[in-house]
Chain A
Amino acid sequence: MGSAVERFDSGARKGFDSIGRNEVFPGELLRHPVYTRFLHWMVALFFFLALFSGFGIYLPWLFRWFTPIFGGGALSREMHPWFGLAFVIFFGLQTLNWIVPMRWTPADSRWMKNIRGVISGSEKLEPPETGFFNAGQKMQFWEIVVGCIVYLITGIILWIGADTFGRWTVAASYVLHDISALIMLGGIFIHVYLSTIGEPGTFQAMTRGAVSEAWAWTFHPAWFKEVTGRDPRQSYEEARNRMKAERK
């Protein structure tokens, strides 16, 4: 099973690398290959389509101006499940793609204990054991995995309706569907913030696929060590000394 997933993923990565390309300049590292970026943006596209078409159904008194974008309330309702299904399918592929780097490790538990330092900005450099993803990213990832399962089950119940599943099942599903969406909505603010202005230099990882070495040794030192073979802290000190020397 595991090897079948790996074969599928490596085949997909290879296939997408032949279609698209990565732009990695000197002093940079490839972070996300074409396949990952493709999946990420498909997930993002269908997430926002589902979100905006769902808003009009969730709270029409506030979001009724969203529905004309989708051709009215009835068409929003008709298309919302399809957007959601596409979102779940692409995120499912992303889950297969990322299942290995997203595994929770003891280092992640240690990272979570120190989350205050990350939020307050006192931790300039990530601890050396932080790998390809940090614990915060992993938590968000697994939240979306659970959210997708909730969406899928409750969504199908809402889609097919009370005639098949009974009115109480539908009434309960509707609440769970909303709660799942709200948690994901809260997470998406953090995700968009951190990947753009919150941690400068991150966004390019999802456009041309590359990040600077400085970005890598700052935020994901263990991954930096893995791909370059150099010690992240030492590389940082060297860069710092170089920078000081240049200033003098």
Chain B
Amino acid sequence: MSDRRLLQIKQMSAHPGPIAGGEPGREVQRNYDVCKLVDTTTCIGCKACEVACVEWNDMPFAATTFDNTYQTMPETRWNFWNLIKFNEHQREDGTIQWLMRKDQCMHCADPGCLDACPADGAIVQYTNGIVDFQQENCIGCEFCVSGCPFNIPRFNQTTKKVYKCTLCSDRVGQGLEPACIKACPTGCLKFGSKDDMKFIAEERSKQLREHFGYDKAGVYDPQSIGGTHVIYVLHDATDPERYGGLPKNPTIPWSYKIWKWLAKPVLGTFALFGLLGVGLHYVMVGPRRPQPDPNEEGAHGQRS
């Protein structure tokens, strides 16, 4: 079933004017904000999602790196968008807690990559919340890398383009769940509307707090970037950093928020004043000629 409502563009990087839309039937039916829920408390680190991601997206082989952990490689790569991060956390009583977190693009409601991107249409956000890179428009400047609070966009030195998780926008556009969700054997990955996932996540956190002794269990949906379309249930929501560098308060550099919008009028002002200044000087004051100026001396002669 093709459901085009799920992939209407909401905003676009460096794009002039509003996004074209308004086709019949738009906004008539319920608009979905899609969301992926990752319950780190039931993840068993089987890496089926990693395999499913590579398989579905038809990625070339990525060599793994062994660094004395169970992690496939230290960081995600341009051709490896979904990585289970393994972290050992020592509790206060000295016992070890093994944390596994599925690391991928968070599909922020307020995407820093999109703000930073200077290429028209290289990054788009659909109305359902998916943030997608359009490699054919990418100019390879890597500004998105500096805009992203989660260190997700990956540059390919050969193609000079940047890649990341698409939340399987190709599958979602056809009414299917992302590949990683389909592969998960424990049900720690869920996919649905943001409201539904938020509800399930809150219920699960409550369960963890009340019945499993995780007093600080909670949902990771950082509001500093307007929330994300990938949310986590964490054993300890007060310290997301321990899950392999999940920032507590992800932020976007102010320059991408302010300067991007200031830059246009500032350039206009500079160009306008520069051109107007010299143009008006020429017609009002006139050029400075080497002296004595034959024209001027002649004029004086006639006048006297």
Chain A residues in the interface with B (C-beta under 8 A): 57-62, 64, 72-74, 76-78, 118-121, 124-125, 158, 161-163, 166-168, 170-172, 174-175, 178, 182-183, 185-186, 188-190, 192-193, 197-201, 212, 214-215, 217-219, 236, 239-240, 243-244, 247
User: Count the B residues whose beta carbon is within 8 Å of the partner chain — how many?
Assistant: 52
Which stretch (B34-42, B142-150, B209-217) binds chain A?
A: B142-150
Q: Is the CB of A182 within 8 A of B270?
A: yes
Q: How far is the CB of A183 from chain B (nearest CB, A)?
A: 8
Chain B residues in the interface with A (C-beta under 8 A): 14-17, 116, 118-120, 137-143, 145-148, 155, 160-161, 253-256, 259, 263-264, 266-267, 270-271, 273-275, 277-278, 281-282, 285-292, 294, 297-298, 301
For the complex, give the distance between the alpha carbons of A201 and B293 in Å: 12
Contacts A171-B147, A182-B270, A185-B270: A74 and B291 contacting too (C-beta < 8 A)? Answer: no
CB-CB under 8 A from B160, the residues of chain A are 74, 78
For the complex, give the distance between the alpha carbons of A174 and B17 in Å: 23
CB-CB under 8 A from B266, the residues of chain A are 182
CB-CB under 8 A from A198, the residues of chain B are 278, 281-282, 287-288
Contacts A60-B14, A193-B282, A243-B297: A185 and B142 contacting too (C-beta < 8 A)? Answer: no
Task: Pull 17 A–B residue pairs with CB atoms less than 8 Å apart, ordered by A.
Answer: A57-B118, A59-B264, A62-B16, A77-B139, A78-B140, A119-B281, A161-B146, A167-B148, A170-B145, A171-B255, A175-B259, A182-B267, A190-B274, A197-B287, A198-B278, A218-B291, A236-B292
Q: Is the CB of B119 within 8 A of A193?
A: no
Q: Is the CB of B291 within 8 A of A124?
A: yes
Which of B14, B145, B282, B292 is the one whose CB lies under 8 Å from A214?
B292
CB-CB under 8 A from A168, the residues of chain B are 146, 253
